[in-house]
Structure 1
Amino acid sequence: MRPPETGPPTALLCGEIRTCLLPARQALDIRSAAQFLALRADERVLLSERPTLYARSPDTLTGVDCPLPAADGARVRAVGTVAAHAVLTEGRVLQTSARFRAPASGPDQRRPWGQYLIRPGTVEPLGKLPREPVARGVLDGGRQGDLDVGLIADALLTRLLRHPLLDQRPPMRSRPTRLRWAALPAPSGAGPSLERFTLAEDELRTVRLRVPEDTPADEIAGLCADLALHDWLLTTVVRTFDGIRLGTGADRDGSSVLRALGPAVDHLLHLWMPRARVTPALARLWDPLEERPGFTRQWDALVHRIRDQLALQAIGPARREVEPAP
């Protein structure tokens, strides 16, 4: 995990991502997306139109001085800044992310704030960092009063959802998801690996990674955002399809099927592009999820089912006309 130009190497990198459907009837175009994500006047929004419309806000910094979460109960005070940003995909799916990096050790006493500000997104422990317990503590959620990057991501999401560009009329029902992640250094000479991807309750997912020490933090965060986006897409479409009562006879004209599935086709199905914005060095970490549980296999099966249902609804009136009378 490549450190900033100043400062010691990174021993632990952690973050949390919120993913949700933008509450607007129409997707934002590229100019509106730039206006929507203009969080700072001194930095421009990053925009890209290939392979999908993508907009990324500048980073914002939140100063913190509090204990780090640790699974073994250790109380390790840390001081520094947490970096947060937002991403809008195809003007439709909004993600807010917060992350921090921590070195293996820090000073015994707190430094002046100016020394923390020159290393944005870095949180220094006072003393040694118990990185394994802290990684587990971040993924488990920690205790009240511990550093919680999820609260920072959530605060940014709340701020953006109040933007005047949004009419608060989403085209379909959905629920946001949360993805917590922790990346530790890989053994010397080893490549990156995805040690664990967990689906927990309350829309929570956790990811634990091992990466070479020279891997840029932005690339690791980008991989996790890609996982969070596609997990949200899959979860949302699964729930949309599961909410339809097929073959019950209660919807003879097919209107409820069209109302439920139509928005998914219009707004979500074309967004499935795993690894499209993941660097080649980390793209292979998608492989375990494609093998088991098989993200893309499940997605393709859902897409085929949706299209089959829409095709059946399209020919339904003609089929009913030729049905013999009982």
Structure 2
Amino acid sequence: MTTGLLNTSEPLPLEAARQALALLPGVSPDWHRHPIEQVVSPDIFFGLDCRLAVPPGAGSQPRVIGTARARAVLTAGHILQGSARVEVLLDANRRRLPWAHYAARTGVVEAINRADPADLVTGFLQGAVNSTVLDLGKTGAYVMSLLDRVPQIDRQPRLKTETGRLLWAVHVQDGAEPDSLVELRDDGMLRVRIGTPAELLPQFVEFCEILALHHWLLSALRNAFERSNRRGRRPEGELDPALSYLGHMWNPEAHLPHEMRGLWQRLENEAQLTWEWKSTVTRVRDKVSLLTRKAIEEALHKEVV
């Protein structure tokens, strides 16, 4: 899952966002106006015939064939996400079947050799190491790039940001209570591992999209504050657009499914994300206030002189 800032100077109005995310002709995107505007594109599908990553020493890499599903999510008109996923079906067939068989099962890939589910979860969360294994991050980034064609995109964002990545993997277990493990490693990429029953999988996807969005918000605001302290930078040039673009965005429970609220609360108890966001916003606003007061004092001094 990839998160970033829409490549434009102003947020897309809701109607323009709905038009932009109609990625399938004749299929309207889902959308919400309250409490935060959000538009979700219909799923689009991509054919796959590749290997899956496995941990070192786990044996051969399973080959999978089928389709991945991906969608774009636009929040508040300017935070864009490319969300891609695939369901891996093990022990289905031992040989490659005609493509019509796989095309009929959208969002599913079938392994044509043996694989251990635990190895597949671990291997995927380690991140793709070469171009021969499944990399859903590239799929999500491609879906995001489709919005570059929208006429309202002026390619002049006023805030410099980096894209964020989140990898998630689920071991589907009937009767299991959702229980996630969230890791942030030195590469800055979030990794989420969970066991959950199949019926809660759509809600868990939404949980990961919300987590990815808010982790990106926190990183983007913190990076803007750090850049404002660098020599040669105009601090207000970093802080003003950061507050304008991001300052009002924090609301993790806005679209959080009811079934996932317990997961989010446990994450808050451990990582204190909301506290860190409020602390960072306070630091940014305090610095803006100090810069404003300094500018006023300098202007008054010039008048007196």
TM-score, normalization by structure 1: 0.84
* Aligned partners of 1:20 and 1:232 also within 8 Å: yes
Say if 1:198 and 1:207, in contact at 8 Å, map to a contact too. no
| C-alpha distance in 1 between matches for 2:243 and 2:195 | 36
Q: How many residues in Structure 1 have an aligned counterpart in Structure 2?
A: 298
Matching of residue 37 in structure 1 with residue 28 in structure 2: no
Counterpart code for 2:282: H
For 1:104 and 1:28, how far apart are their aligned partners in 2? Answer: 42
1:225 to 209, 218, 227: 209
Deviation at 1:317, TM superposition (A): 4.7
Task: Please name the residue that 1:49 is paired with.
Answer: 33
Letter in 2 for 1:194: S
Residue of structure 2 aligned with 1:211, choices 196, 204, 207: 196
Q: Do 1:96 and 1:156's aligned partners in 2 also have CA atoms closer than 8 Å?
A: yes
Task: Indicate the residue corresponding to 2:123 in structure 1.
Answer: 137
Alignment of 1:127-166 (within 5 A): 127-144=113-130, 145-166=132-153
**Dislocated runs of 4+, deviation >6 Å:** none
Deviations 1:166-214 (A, max 9, x none): 110002111111111101135x65411112322341x422111222333
* The 10-residue stretch of structure 1 (189-198 or 36-45) with the greater mean CA deviation from structure 2: 189-198
User: Is it true that 1:297 corresponds to 2:283 in the alignment?
Assistant: no
Q: Does 1:101 align with 2:87?
A: yes
Higher relative contact order (CA 8 A, sep 6+): 1
- The unaligned stretches of length 5 or more in structure 1 are 1-16
Q: Tell me which amino acid in the other structure corresponds to 2:125.
A: L
Check whether the contact 2:68–2:84 (CA below 8 A) recurs between aligned residues: yes
CA contact (8 A) 1:200 1:206 kept: no
Determine if contact 1:195/1:210 at 8 Å carries over to the other structure. Answer: no
Give the Cα–Cα distance (whole angstroms) in 1 for the partners of residues 83 and 59 of structure 2. 26
Aligned counterpart for 1:234 among listed residues 214, 218, 233: 218
1:285 matched to 2:285? The reply is no
With over 3 angstroms needed to count, the CA separation of the structure-2 counterparts of 1:115 and 1:310, relative to structure 1, is: same
SS in 2 for 1:74: coil
| Structure with greater helix share of residues | 2
- Counterpart CA distance in 2 for 1:317 and 1:89 is 34
Whether the aligned pair in 2 keeps the contact of 1:104 and 1:129 (CA below 8 Å) is yes
* One-letter amino acid matched to 1:270: H
Unaligned runs of 5+ in 2: none
- SS state at 1:304 partner: helix
Give me the whole-angstrom Cα distance separating, in 1, the residues matched to 2:252 and 2:183: 16
Taking every aligned residue pair, what percent have the same amino acid on both sides? 30
Per the normalisation by structure 2, the TM-score is 0.90
Question: 1:272: Cα distance to partner?
Answer: 0.5
Give the Cα–Cα distance (whole angstroms) in 2 for the partners of residues 170 and 318 of structure 1.
28
Q: Deviations over 1:257-280 (max 9, x none)?
A: 322211111111111011321211
Amino acid across the alignment from 2:5: L
Please give the secondary structure, in 2, of the residue aligned with 1:270: coil
- Corresponding residue number in structure 2 for 1:83: 69
Contact preservation (8 Å) 1:78, 1:123: yes
3-state SS of the aligned residue for 2:7? coil
Matched, 1:184 2:168: no
The answer as to whether partners of 1:67 and 1:75 remain within 8 angstroms in 2 is yes
- Per the alignment, residue 266 of structure 1 pairs with 244
Contact 2:53 2:120 in 1 (8 A): yes
Q: Please report the RMSD computed on the Cα atoms of aligned residues, expressed in angstroms.
A: 2.3
In 2, Cα distance between equivalents of 1:105 and 1:283: 34
* 1:91 alignment partner, SS class: coil
Q: Secondary structure at the match of 1:214?
A: helix
Tell me if the contact between 2:48 and 2:66 (Cα under 8 Å) persists in the aligned partners: yes
